[in-house]
Each structure stands twice: as structure tokens, then as C-alpha cells.
Amino acid sequence: MPDTSQQRHAVLAKEILRHDQAYYVEAQPAVSDQEYDRLYRELLALEAVHPELRTPDSPSQRVGGEPIDGFETIRHTVPMMSLDNTYSQEEVREFVDRVQKLLPGELLEWFVEPKADGIAIGLRFEYGLFTSGITRGDGIAGDDVTANLRTVRSIPLRLNELGQADTPEVLEVRGEVVMTRSGFEKLNHERADAGEPLFANPRNATAGSLKQLDSALVAKRPLDIVLYGSGEIVGGPAIDSQSDLLDVLGQVGFRTPQNTWRCSSVDEVLDAIDELDRVRGGFDYDTDGAVIKLNSFSQRERIGATAKAPRWAMAYKYAPEQAQTRLNAITVQVGRTGTLTPVAELEPVFLDGSTISRATLHNEEEIARKDIRVGDTVIIEKRGDVIPGLIGVVKEERPAGAEPFEMQSATGSRCPECDGEIRKDESFVAWRCINTQCPAQAAQRLEHFAARTALDIECLGDIVSDKLVERGLASEPLDLFSLSVEQLGPLNLGTDDEPRVFGEKNATKLVESLALARGMGLDRWLFALAIPEMGRTTASSLAKFHDNLQAVAGSPLLCEVIALDEKVAETVRINPRSRKNRPNSDIDKAGRERLYTSLVSEIRDSLGRLESLCFAKITKENGDHPPNYTTEVGPSVARSVLDWFASETGCATLECLAKLGIDPQGGRPSGGGVFAGKRFVITGTLPTMSRDEAKEKIEANGGKTTGSISNKTDYLLAGEQAGLKLAKAKSLGVTILDEVKFLKRIGE
């Protein structure tokens, strides 16, 4: 590579980073958008020719990279604790008194900061280079979301050098990732236009964005960071207080909160809290309180922390905001599983930083309980990450003639999405659309089919599923097998005005994973087909006992479970010794006794057969009454499975699978396996398997998994970041297997 290319790249990178800082950190753009784009395009062109210039701190790394399969869990070098919080000013006084008692006679300086309402993260810089970003997780370990955080423009990829002092060898800064309010409104508008579900608030949108596996998508989300603390620090300038910390963070290139207060008495603290409440509505990010902390780090160290929170800080939370507005209409939304949810359409009202025009009403009973009627003046409230809730009605302002809400009259007893029949099951409060062809449900089935624990189809999430249904490309999972890369590549996931194509690369991945799915086992397929009541465990046990789908469809075992259940029900009904059934005459009694005895003996025979096949187990003998028992699959699931296979959908599915040449295979019960009867606990992150996959393998080899270690545990399957469980297993002498040893044992 010519030196000049390298030099030019360095000049461009520096220039772009300087402009990023001016724009995103200092809010004072130094060049026009066109000039910025020109520099950026030149940088990309150079990197295209010389890929080695694409270093982790190059501005090109802001646009995100390849999608990943999942996040790694990483341990925090210094645990990320939480804060004690209160809504009461009196408790703030008590807190200040408490700290003063712990530091008798010392002068205390308090630092009051906004409490940002986002997602806590730690950012690690090594020798100035941004190396990792981890979510709080459980405080001990969190998700590695580095790739996603690289796209946040206000996070420097390399720290500015400090004038006098050296750049720290390690600097971990902590803060909240937030979504700007303005960006959030825009994002939700775009989602509404694209028919995508809206985020309830900026915090949820932030959490959703950080969880994205595709950082290129995150790059398009208006994320920002608000810093407030530090984790591990090695080397660099002396940082002795919160004010020092924020100064240094400002110097190395972060934006630091503008509104902070240094206070020397509790009254000043309370004034600062009030003032913050007055100004925070103007911030471009959500806040839900003030954090009061000791400024001095040495004083902090001396008073330390309780098990969960530091003694030197406290969060004061502002009371959630409420607003009153008019309920213009109640519309009905169809959820992905067919559930009908009433939604309040409100006269738009500004509440806690954003405009609210909808609120969920949960279900018909909830509306009746709160007596909510169209035309009412209603009180809405936003609290934390809860979707704005409608908490009550101002009855005095109810207009004459306002009618109570009824789902049936509101919908004309038809599904608003597909005009299909709606029904309300006895045991549920919700109405459901029972049309299996309903587009809202079709999309849900595609997504389920693709889930990791089902057939693990890549690039088929909720948005793609919705679009495939909407564009008429697929309404049933098996339709996917007739789609080609050419058909899928141009699929528009965005809107007509702002198209976002699925792309050939993603389409290829999808098609390739479908090809892999063809060879997956019967258990995965049984689960993937979205058969009512078929969970992962049922699918696994059915797959153990049946060779293929046809065998499940006509399963003698399932028929026997149902027959058994019916016989037991019959014995209850006719039991001559039960007070309720007492027969009227002796003849009647003798007949019943005979019938009863013969039913009990049929039940025993049947159970004997099922027991010898390991499909049932008698749990309690009851003399000459039917014994208590359990079966691998219960009668209600058995009915649901057989019904589905006999239904039009089930028959069509089997026929279609046969045409596609797909014939998933099950395995006979081995009754043995290398881990027969052994108890496993799984902990930590396994290098190549998910926990579900490990569990499956354990069960396929005769073992069982449980949640916690005891002296009954035989093996601990331990991945990376195995914490307490590993220590406990060692102390109890439990055999510890890593993934490699485990796979070796099962011959994989």
C-alpha cells in the first residue's frame, strides 16, 4: 500500500472524527452535510482498496457489521450495582443524615445529577481504544453489545489524548444508553408507516435496539449516551471525585451532563432536585429522577456499599406524570396469536416528554371494571417503562348517551383483520380470532417456525414474517420452501417512500437454513408446526416414541392415553361407592360394581402396556380403584395433537411435506443412553451450543436437567463465565464437564 494512501486515510479519519465530535458531542457542526459525506465516501473508497486500513477506530465502523447469532455474556471487572431509590424528600434528608453519621465531623459535598431513563452499560477503553461495551445484566455479567455501541456516534471510538497526563491503560466508563426523544418520535412514525409495532417509549426502543443482532440496523437508531460513573480505571490522570470524573470524560471526548449541582447541605440538595424537575422537560432524553451522590471518591470508599447498592448515593424519583384527555374511540387490535386487544384512541396529549395518542385497555373486563366509555375524559399515566395506562375516568365530565364498550358490538363479532369468527373461551378473559388463515396469526406462525428452538431459520424475524404474509409470498410455513433467493432478495421491508430491501445475502441465508431444516429431527418439526398445545417438551417426548409424522398422526399411544382418561372419568362417574352416585337399587348396584371392576381392570391393562413402553408411570396404587398415574403426554395435549393431524390444516401439511420430500425422523426410546438416569445442571455460556440444545442432547442420552446444584446432581455442564454454580459443584464433588468433554462422552 502506498504511504500516501495510509496518510490520506489518517487525515480523513481524524477529520471525520473531529466533525463527529463537533456534531454529536458539542452540538456545533463545523462542516456542511455534503462536505462530511464527501470525506466519508473518500475514506470508504480508500478502505475498499486497502481493507487493512479498516481499523476498529475507523469512522467506517460506525455503520455496523455482519449480523451475529447471539450475544456473549461477559463478566464485569467491577460489579455494576443498582441504587436505593425513594419518592420522598423526607427520605432524602434521612439519607444525608445517615451518611453524615458514617463520616462524623467531615465536610460533605453532594453532587446532584439527572437520572437518565435508559439502559445501563459499561464502556471499556484500553489505551484509549474502545474495546467493549457490556450491558448491566445481573450486575455481575452482562451481554457484549460492543458492535451495537460502536454505531452510537457520541461514543468516541478512540479517546482524545490528554494534555498533561497519560491516557489511562484501562478506563471503564458507565452510563445509560438512551434514545433521543426527537429520534424516538421519528422512529415510531416510520414504524407506523411501515405497519410495524410501535415502541411504547424511548427506553423500550433503546432496549430493543441494543438487543438487535444486526448492528447495521442499530446504526439507524437514534441512540445516545449519558455518562455518570466509572468502573475499572488503571493509570491516567488522578480522578478523586465525581466532578473530576466528569471533567476528564469531557476532555477525552464525551459529552457530559450539563445540568449538575454541587451542594453542601441537604437544603441545597432538595433545591437542586426541584430545579432539575423544572428543567428536565426540555432535555432531549427521558429522565425519571435525580441521583444524589457524594462527590469525594475517598469518602465513598470509606462508607462502601450494602449487598446491592452503594451507601453513598440515592435516587430520588419524580412522581409519574398524569394527564387528562378525551377518549375518542376504542379500536381493536389483533395480536399475533389471535387475541383481540382493545386500544384507547386518545385526543393527543403531551405527557412526560412525548405525545400520547393511544393507550392499551387490556381486555373487555378491564374496561367494564373501570367503566370506560367512548367520549369520556380519561386520566392517563406514564410510569417507567410501562405503556401509557388509562388509570381512570372523570365521571362528572361524561357526555350524555355514552355507551359501555362491548367487544361483540364493537367488532360486529368479526375479526377486524380478517373478518373471521371471534370466540371467547370460558377460561380466558380475551376474545380471539379463530380463523387460522388470519394474516396476523399467519405471520406469528412463520416466526415461530423460524425460532431457534424450532427450525432455527436465519433472517426470518417478526418484520420479515409480517412482510411475507402482507406481500402474499407465504401464509403457511411450508410455503417458504417454494421461495427462491430471486423472489426474496428484493422484498421491501420498509415503505414505498423509504424502501429497505431484504437483500440477496439475507435471502440466501434464509434459503440455506431452510435447506438445513429439511434434515432436522421429528422433535424440532413437531414443535415448529405450531400445533396447539405442542410445547418443546411434548415435541421431544413424542419424537422419542414415534418414527415420523405419520406415526404421530395415527399414534396408538396417544389414542390409548385418551381412552385411558375417558375410562378413568367413567369410573368416577359410575363409582357405586361414591356418595354422589349411590345406586337406587341392589340390582343397579351389582351391575355398577361389575362395570366398575371391569373398567378398573381395563385401566390396569392399559397402564401396564404403556408402562412397559415407558410411556406411563403409576404414581400411586389405590386398592381396587384406578391407580394414579402420569403419562409422557397428557390427555388434553394428546387430543389436541390428534385433532390437529385430523384437521384440514394437518392433512394439508402432511400432504405438502410429502410433496416436498420432507420426512423428519424420530427415535425409539432407548431406555438407556450414556447418561441414563443422571442429573445435570447447566451453567455459563457454552461455546457452540445454546442451553436448549445442550438440554436436548442430555435428554436424548437418557439424562435429566435441573436448575440448581444439590448432592443429587451428577454432572455440571459448565461454559464460560460459570460463577457460583461452578464453585458449589466443586465443593460438592460433582463431576464437571466442559462442552468438549460432554460432546466426547455422547460420541459427537
Q: Which residues bind ligand IVH (CB under 6 A)?
A: 81-83, 85, 113, 115-116, 120, 176, 228-229, 291, 310, 313, 315
Looking at beta carbons only, is 245 or 361 nearer to ligand IVH? 245
How would you label 245-263 residue by residue, b for 16+ Cβ within 10 Å and e otherwise? bbebbebbbbbbbebbbeb
Shortest Cβ 320–ligand IVH spacing (Å): 15
The number of helix segments (H) and strand segments (E) in the chain equals 26, 24
Shortest Cβ 300–ligand IVH spacing (Å): 10
Shortest Cβ 700–ligand IVH spacing (Å): 42
CB neighbours of residue 566 within 10 Å: 11
Instruction: Report the distance separating Cα 296 and Cα 294, nearest Å.
Output: 6
What residue type is 226 in one-letter code? V
C-alpha cell at 306: 450494602
Shortest Cβ 203–ligand IVH spacing (Å): 11
C-alpha cell at 103: 463520616
Looking at beta carbons only, is 44 or 81 nearer to ligand IVH? 81
Which of 231, 400, 425 lies closest to 339, judged by CA?
A: 425
Residue 540, CA distances (Å) to 546, 548, 641, 669 in order? 10, 12, 14, 11
Looking at beta carbons only, is 81 or 654 nearer to ligand IVH? 81
The dihedral sign for the CA sequence 467, 473, 478, 481:
negative
What residue type is 50 in one-letter code? H
Looking at beta carbons only, is 9 or 174 nearer to ligand IVH? 174
- The CA-to-CA distance between both ends of the chain, in Å, stands at 46
Shortest Cβ 225–ligand IVH spacing (Å): 11
Looking at beta carbons only, is 59 or 229 nearer to ligand IVH? 229
User: For residue 60, is it left (φ>0), alpha (ψ between -120 and 50) or beta?
Assistant: alpha
Residue 594, CA distances (Å) to 373, 589, 604 in order? 61, 9, 15
Instruction: Report the distance separating Cα 218 and Cα 442, nearest Å.
Output: 27
CB–CB of 57/157 below 8 Å?
Answer: yes
Which of 456, 468, 464 lies closest to 515, judged by CA?
A: 456
Looking at beta carbons only, is 300 or 725 nearer to ligand IVH? 300
CB–CB of 526/542 below 8 Å?
Answer: yes
Shortest Cβ 555–ligand IVH spacing (Å): 52
**DSSP at 175:** E
**DSSP at 61:** G
Looking at beta carbons only, is 60 or 85 nearer to ligand IVH? 85
Of 14, 101, 115, 211, which residue is the catalytic one?
115
Shortest Cβ 559–ligand IVH spacing (Å): 56
Looking at beta carbons only, is 62 or 115 nearer to ligand IVH? 115
Looking at beta carbons only, is 16 or 120 nearer to ligand IVH? 120
One-character DSSP codes across 264-303: SSHHHHHHHHHHHHHHGGGSSS-EEEEEEEESBHHHHHHH
Instruction: Report the distance separating Cα 354 and Cα 388, nearest Å.
Output: 11
Q: Is 395 a catalytic residue?
A: no
Shortest Cβ 305–ligand IVH spacing (Å): 7
User: Which regions of 394-539 does DSSP assign to beta strands (E)?
Assistant: 422-424, 431-433
One-character DSSP codes across 672-719: --TTTT-EEEEESB-SS--HHHHHHHHHHTT-EE-SS--TT--EEEE-
Going by their DSSP bridges, the two strands 354-360 and 340-351 should be labelled as antiparallel
Instruction: Report the distance separating Cα 748 and Cα 742, nearest Å.
Output: 9
Which residues are within 8 A (CB) of 532 and not within 5 positions of it... i.e. 6 or more apart? 640, 644
Shortest Cβ 542–ligand IVH spacing (Å): 45
SS3 state of residue 327? strand
Looking at beta carbons only, is 125 or 312 nearer to ligand IVH? 312
Longest CA–CA span in the chain (Å) reads 110
**Bridge partner list, 616:** 631
Shortest Cβ 414–ligand IVH spacing (Å): 46
Instruction: Report the distance separating Cα 229 and Cα 175, nearest Å.
Output: 6
Shortest Cβ 321–ligand IVH spacing (Å): 18
Looking at beta carbons only, is 135 or 436 nearer to ligand IVH? 135
Active site residues: 115
